[in-house]
Chains A and B, each alone.
Chain A
Amino acid sequence: MLSQLVSLLENKENGLSLSEISRMMNAQPSAVMAMIALLVQKGKLVEIGPDGKSCAACGLESDCNLLAARGKRYACASPVQPGEGMGGKFAIIN
């Protein structure tokens, strides 16, 4: 599931929101949120702002009207190459 989630976000420059990810994975948002939290904690995913840049660099994350209006989005922390990391594992299994 985690590898599926990471590969879902590969090459998605503008990232995906929680509801988009849960719809694509056909899973409950609450379940997906726990996976996202783990992947963010491990540095595999980043929360991004409406401009497509990481919120971590902004510092206004907790008070951002734009995030509140648009909802949070998530993207891969860095492009994952085949054979590398979660994406690589997913590719091997399939």
Chain B
Amino acid sequence: MTITTAPTEVFRLDYGSKLEREIARLVACFEENNFDPGRYPRRWLAIKLLEADPDILARVQSMPNGAQVIAIARLSAEKLKSLLGDDVDLLTADHRYGYINGVVRQTLQRPLLDRLTLTDRIDNIVTHKWLGLPFFFLVMYLVFRLVIDVSAPFLDWTDAVINGPLAGWLTFILGLLPAPAWIHSLVIDGIVAGVGGVLVFVPGLLILYFFLALLEDSGYMSRAAFVMDRFMRVVGLHGKSFIPMILGFGCAVPAVYATRTIASRRDRTLTALLVPLMSCSARLPVYVVFGLAFFGSRAGTVIWAMYALGIVVAMLAGMVFTRTILKPDVSSAFVLELPPYRQPALKSVLIHMWENTREFVRKAGTTILAAAVVMWLLLNLPWGVANQRDSYFGKVSGAIAPVFAPLGFDNWETGGALVSGFMAKEIVVSTLSQVYLGGEEAQAIEPTTFGEDLLGIGQGFAEATFSSGKILLSIIPGINLMDATAEAEDTALSLALRKQFTPLSALALLVFVLLYVPCVATLGAIRHEFGRSWAITSGLYQTLLAWVAALMVYQVGRLLGFG
């Protein structure tokens, strides 16, 4: 049997007359220069030489008469560039893409991308003129409910680990060393109470950053900026300014630097003045401590309300600035890319979550550690002071406290904590922990072995994970795995705070913490970007605003009978 095959036609892409002429000339010059291309097809090799393919040039260079051929190819390529205006590799790629495009169009019929259609359908709701904003607030509400409810068992567990086994181990180690009593007090009452009081919130931040990363990576955050554009225009800005504000939910410092992307100097300045009103993650520990201590199962709603209030106050403050010291100039168009929705990659979300939380932990190990040591010193000087009220800290705080009397919290401990929060907002909680818990006599704890401690930590973590899982599932409508009578466990700090505050004065304090002077790092960023006078303006107007807002909350609340 014989098999015959039809002669196959060699495919040859036409690169156009000018290119084809040079290719043919180069192929001809192979013969003229006694150049043997070996296993390479002549036309293909000529094209590669004209494209100046580095690999092929190196190979041809080593072949007999290769150098002459390369020199001729270079002259041809330069000639083509002067004629057609581009490198040969771009010209050939252009022809190839053109050919592929033609083939695809003639042979393939493709429906519109499903993902695009789905994106458009979702956008019809989330960027809707009337539904867009309620949807945005609903998303933020769900995020904060999840953060508070799901992280609550882990917060209790971390608190128990820090104040239980960890404090116990440190006490044991200090007992082995010939350390004086003041070292013991510095470590346990100063560092463990101060830094530990802030580290307790790491699980909450991990969960917050997890959800913020989900929103960002899914493509929703740019929709949020789009939705807010209409409202930003009310205050003389546009949606572009909302992007730094979204960053402000994490930390105000990068958010202030992010205003550089705004073209107008006036818009930049106004945005930077409003960014610190967005509730940064450093304020979250304060909200959580007071939220869980005074509002129980409504803590998530209260915390969400703080974030929403920050946005509303920023709008109002913007309107005032626009009509006074920062009158609008010519408005520029807002161009915002809305990328298609995509499924966030778990790895990317976890990296995002960890990088942000790591920054918080780093701050706990540096700024907050230093502040805790300074605060411990101020609480214990003059040396040997019996009552913290008589310490330097107590005296200064006592002098400031009357300013807060109309706001419902005139105790010296809170006054001092708010002043220390100027360094970083987390320090408010750190200071309150030191003041209220640092001086307490340690409760008699039954001695345990190291192994029992580790077992207890593991069991506690497993129980916290189980409880969080139940809470997470209970969020789904129709599923209720929670015991209706179960209440969040009270921390020692919660119990101490309840002796000093009512729910109304606690709410006034939260409003004050939300709005008062930005931390020193944020003011530094504003000074760096806009100058000293704008940094002073930011600090002063926010403190005044915070005082007035907290006053209104407390006094109106009392008039309504909530006090």
Contacts and interface: CB of A to CB of B under 8 A. Distances in A.
Contact of A86 (B94, B225, B258, B340): B94
B97 A1 contact: yes
B343 interface: no
Interface in A36-71: 38-39, 42, 44, 49-51, 65-66, 68-71
A70 B260 contact: no
Interface string B78-116: 000000111101110110011011000000000000000
Nearest to B257: A60
How many residues of B sit at the interface, in one of the four size bands? 20 to 34
B94 A71 contact: no
A3 B94 contact: yes
Given A2-B94, A85-B85, A51 B260 contact: yes
Given A3-B94, A51-B260, A86-B90, A71 B337 contact: yes
A3 B254 CA distance: 39
A44 B89 CA distance: 13
Given A69-B246, A70-B222, A85-B86, A1 B94 contact: yes
A17 B335 CA distance: 11
- Where chain A touches its partner, the secondary structure class is helix
Interface string B325-352: 0000000000111011000000000000
Given A38-B90, A65-B247, A86-B90, A73 B337 contact: yes
B85 A2 contact: no
Contacts of B100: 1, 31
Given A69-B222, A70-B336, A71-B339, A1 B101 contact: yes
B85 A89 contact: yes
Contact of B335 (A14, A31, A65, A89): A14
A83 B340 contact: no
A33 interface: no
Given A69-B221, A86-B85, A2 B93 contact: yes
A31 B108 CA distance: 15
Interface residues of A, number: 30
A65 B86 contact: no
Given A19-B340, A38-B93, A49 B87 contact: no
A83 B335 CA distance: 31
A40 B337 CA distance: 20
Interface in A1-22: 1-3, 14, 17, 19-20
B88 to A, nearest CB: 11
Contacts of B335: 14
A49 B221 contact: no
A44 B85 contact: no
A15 B344 CA distance: 26
B40 to A, nearest CB: 23
A51 B217 CA distance: 21
Nearest to A87: B85
A66 B336 CA distance: 11
A88 B91 CA distance: 12
B68 interface: no
Contact of A1 (B84, B98, B254, B261): B98
Nearest to A84: B85
A89 B85 CA distance: 8
B229 interface: no
A88 B258 CA distance: 38
Contact of A42 (B84, B90, B254): B90
Given A19-B339, A19-B340, A42-B87, A70 B243 contact: yes
A70 B335 CA distance: 10
B85 A17 contact: no
A2 B261 contact: no
A69 B352 CA distance: 13
Nearest to A32: B97
B104 to A, nearest CB: 8
B22 to A, nearest CB: 16
Given A3-B94, A19-B340, A49-B261, A69 B86 contact: no
A27 B101 contact: yes
A27 B104 CA distance: 10
A45 to B, nearest CB: 12
Contacts of A70: 222, 243, 336-337, 339
B159 interface: no
A65 B225 CA distance: 14
Contacts of A14: 335
Nearest to A34: B97
A86 B87 CA distance: 10
Contacts of A66: 243, 258, 261
20 contacts: A1-B98, A2-B93, A17-B339, A42-B89, A42-B90, A44-B90, A51-B262, A66-B261, A68-B217, A70-B243, A70-B339, A71-B222, A71-B337, A71-B339, A73-B337, A83-B85, A85-B85, A86-B85, A86-B94, A89-B86
Given A3-B94, A38-B90, A69-B222, 10 more contacts: A1-B94, A1-B100, A19-B337, A35-B97, A42-B89, A44-B90, A50-B243, A65-B216, A69-B221, A71-B337
